[in-house]
């Protein structure tokens, strides 16, 4: 029986990227993987709002981001943490929206888009914060000009944003505090959950 893993990941999080590489090592005959993009800062803010029972909650920005992305993985290089901090300074969700748009409208290209965008960020150190950066990404993937242009128009579209938001809510309701987060379904109606501990989850 094939086991299903739902993987909630933040494309701007180096730990999410590292776990993505680990997932690629799993045998495709034993596991099917559903990749859901989320935005860690939106997830944390929504959790704070739910806990406070109100939409507007006061936050200390410095503390907020320090708690959001704890440097607790010794296998992530200082260079990748530096890239990560530079990405956070942009404070946008453009790359997340790009991946969600590909998932919605070009689902057969979605996994390729995940790989390509992660390589652009973590290996090539190229920017991803503007529409023209994602247009370049789409054309490099082999999308036609009109398809690439369409994806750029979706970066602020409410339909894509709502789909991204639903993924964030889904992660929270499964117990996630931040990405990366895994939900494993073994086919008999039971689930095992784990955050940043894939090896323990699949044992």
Q: How is the chain classified by DSSP, letter by letter?
A: -PEEEEEEE-TT-HHHHHHHHHHTTS-TTTEEEEEEE--HHHHHHHHHHHHHTSS-----HHHHHHHHT----TTS-HHHHHHHHHHHHH---HHHHHHHHHHHH-GGGHHHHHHHHHHHHHTS----SSHHHHHHHHHHHT--HHHHHHHHHGGG-HHHHHHHHHHHHHHHHTT-SSSSEEEEE-SSS-EEEESS-HHHHT-
Give Dmax over CA atoms of the chain in angstroms: 48
- Can you read off the two tokens belonging to residue 138? 């789409």
- Give the CATH number for residue 175: 3.40.30.10
Stronger pLDDT, 91 or 6, i.e. the higher one: 6
- Which residues make beta-bridge pairs with 9? 37
Output Rg (C-alpha) for the chain, integer angstroms: 17
Model confidence pLDDT, tens digit, residues 156-179 = 999 999 999 999 999 999 999 889
- Which residues make beta-bridge pairs with 193? 183
pTM, two decimals, is 0.87
Q: Which residue has the tokens 């704070």?
A: 48
Model confidence pLDDT, tens digit, residues 116-162 = 999 999 889 888 989 999 999 999 999 999 999 999 999 999 999 99
Residue 183 domain boundaries? 3-201
% pLDDT > 90, the chain = 46
% pLDDT > 70, the chain = 82
Number of domains in the chain: 1
Q: Which residue has the tokens 């109606």?
A: 189
């Amino acid at each position: 029986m094939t086991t299903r893993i739902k993987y909630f990941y933040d494309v701007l999080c180096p730990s999410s990227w590292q776990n993505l590489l680990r997932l690629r090592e799993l045998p495709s005959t034993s596991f099917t993987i559903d990749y859901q993009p989320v935005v860690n800062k939106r997830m944390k803010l929504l959790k704070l709002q739910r806990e406070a029972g109100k939409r507007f909650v006061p936050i200390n920005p410095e503390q907020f981001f320090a708690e959001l992305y704890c440097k607790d993985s010794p296998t992530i290089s200082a260079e990748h943490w530096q890239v990560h901090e530079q990405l956070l300074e942009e404070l946008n969700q453009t790359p997340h929206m790009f991946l969600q748009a590909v998932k919605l409208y070009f689902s057969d290209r979605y996994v390729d888009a995940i790989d390509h965008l992660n390589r652009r960020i973590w290996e090539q150190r190229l920017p991803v914060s503007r529409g023209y950066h994602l247009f370049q990404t789409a054309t490099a993937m082999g999308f036609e000009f009109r398809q690439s242009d369409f994806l750029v128009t979706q970066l602020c579209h409410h339909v894509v944003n709502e789909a991204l938001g639903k993924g964030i809510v889904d992660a929270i309701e499964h117990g996630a505090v931040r990405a990366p987060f895994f939900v494993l379904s073994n086919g008999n109606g039971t689930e095992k959950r784990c955050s940043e501990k894939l090896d323990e989850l699949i044992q």
